C-alpha cells in the first residue's frame, strides 16, 4: 500500500500557534511516528512524506507529488485552533464525494481507531472542500488532532506518549482500511539453558530478522558497541531468517555469560542455540 503522509504546514508557515506550541512541529512529529509504525510493523506499507523536516511546501506541490507517485491514500495531519473553549478531534474527507465512495468507508475505520486512542472529545466525521482533499487523485483524509488553543488538548500535545498514541490510531485505521498484514514475530527463542553435550557449539544470536536490512542494522549497532557480529541466513520451515551471530562457544557457561552481557547492552531479544 502506497501511503502519502502530509504533515501540515512547515517552514515559514507555522500553522496554528498557542500554548507555546506550533502546529507544524506537532504535525511533523505525529507523521514521523505514523511512518515508523507502518514500516516497522507491517509487511506491505510504502510511505512517502510531504516533508521530513521543517520545510516549506505549497499545497499544490504536495498533491502533485502524491499524484505523480501514484499514492493509494493521502493522509494529511493537522492541529486545530479556535476559541479557548473549543476542543476535540475531527476528520475530513472531500465534500464532493458520494456516500458510497470508498473514502467514506476509510474515514469510518480511521475515525474509529483514532478516537479509541487519542483521549480527545469526539467532534465527529466531517466533509470539506480543502485543497488536499479535492486535488489529490486518490482517497484522502485530513485529521485535526485537537485544539492548540485549548488548555486540555495542548497539554496532551506536549506529551510524546500522546503523539505516539495518535500515530498508532492512524496506523491502526489504515491497517484496517487496507487490510495490511503485520510482520511476523521474531523466531521463538529456544530454552535459555541448553543442555550441555559432547561436541556442541553454543551460538549467541543477538537478534533474528525476516528483513536482511534489519539484521544488517543490528550488526552495525553491535559493532558500534565494540561487539563483533555477522549476519547469517537460515531457513526454518521454508522461511528465511537473518540471524545476527555475536559469538560461538564450546562451554555453555561461557555462552551464558556472554548472553548476559549482550542483554545488558540492550539487546533483550538475544538467545543461544546449541548445534
Nearer Cβ to Zn ion (24/111): 24
Please state the closest distance from residue 14 (CB atom) to Zn ion, in A: 10
CA distance 153 to 151: 6
Q: Which of 24, 33, 51, 78 binds Zn ion (CB under 5 A)?
A: 78
15/173 with CB nearer Zn ion: 15
The rounded distance, in Å, linking the Cα atoms of 182 and 175 is: 9
Is 144 annotated in the active site? yes
Of 7-15, 38-46, 116-124, 258-266: span binding Zn ion (CB under 5 A): 7-15
Among 6, 7, 8, 175, binds Zn ion (CB under 5 A): 8
Q: Which is nearer to Zn ion, 30 or 255 (CB)?
A: 30
Nearer residue to Zn ion within complex by CB, 8 or 18? 8
Q: How far apart are CA 139 and CA 106, in angstroms?
A: 8
Residue 51 in the binding site for Zn ion (CB under 5 A)? no
* Chain centroid to CA 234: 28
Kindly state the cell numbers that stand for 126: 466531517
Between CA 184 and CA 62 the distance in angstroms is 33
* 10 to 39: interface string for Zn ion, x by CB under 5 A: -----x------------------------
Q: Do residues 265 and 224 lie in contact, with contact meaning Cβ atoms separated by under 8 Å? A: no
Sign of CA dihedral 187, 188, 192, 197: negative
Length of the chain: 275
Classify residue 44 by its DSSP letter.
Answer: T
Q: Which residue is nearest to Zn ion (CB)?
A: 78
Active-site annotation, residues: 144
Give contact residues for Zn ion (rule: CB under 5 A). Answer: 8, 15, 78
Amino acid at each position: 500500500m502506497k501511503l502519502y503522509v502530509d504533515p501540515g504546514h512547515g517552514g515559514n508557515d507555522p500553522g496554528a500557534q498557542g500554548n507555546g506550541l506550533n502546529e507544524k512541529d506537532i504535525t511533523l512529529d505525529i507523521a514521523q511516528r505514523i511512518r515508523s509504525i507502518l514500516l516497522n510493523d507491517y509487511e506491505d506499507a510504502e510511505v512517502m512524506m510531504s516533508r521530513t523536516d521543517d520545510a516549506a511546501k505549497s499545497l499544490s506541490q504536495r498533491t502533485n507529488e502524491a499524484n505523480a507517485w501514484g499514492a493509494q491514500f493521502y493522509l494529511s495531519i493537522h492541529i486545530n485552533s479556535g476559541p479557548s473553549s473549543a476542543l476535540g478531534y475531527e476528520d475530513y474527507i472531500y465534500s464532493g464525494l458520494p456516500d458510497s465512495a470508498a473514502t467514506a468507508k476509510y474515514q469510518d475505520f480511521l475515525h474509529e481507531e483514532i478516537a479509541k486512542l487519542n483521549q480527545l472529545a469526539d467532534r465527529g466525521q466531517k466533509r470539506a472542500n480543502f485543497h488536499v482533499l479535492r486535488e489529490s487523485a486518490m482517497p484522502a483524509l485530513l485529521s485535526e488532532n485537537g485544539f492548540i488553543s485549548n488548555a486540555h488538548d495542548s497539554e496532551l500535545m506536549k506529551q510524546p506518549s500522546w503523539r505516539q498514541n495518535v500515530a498508532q490510531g492512524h496506523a491502526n485505521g489504515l491497517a484496517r482500511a487496507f487490510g495490511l498484514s503485520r510482520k511476523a514475530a521474531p523466531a521463538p527463542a529456544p530454552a535459555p539453558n541448553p543442555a550441555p553435550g559432547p561436541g556442541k557449539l553454543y551460538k549467541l544470536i543477538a537478534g533474528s530478522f525476516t528483513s536482511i536490512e534489519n539484521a544488517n542494522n543490528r550488526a552495525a549497532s553491535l559493532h558500534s558497541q565494540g561487539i563483533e557480529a555477522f549476519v547469517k541466513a537460515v531457513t526454518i520451515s521454508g522461511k528465511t531468517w537473518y540471524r545476527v551471530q555475536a559469538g560461538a562457544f564450546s562451554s555453555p557457561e561461557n555462552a551464558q555469560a556472554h548472553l548476559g552481557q549482550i542483554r545488558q547492552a540492550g539487546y533483550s531479544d538475544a538467545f543461544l542455540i546449541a548445534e
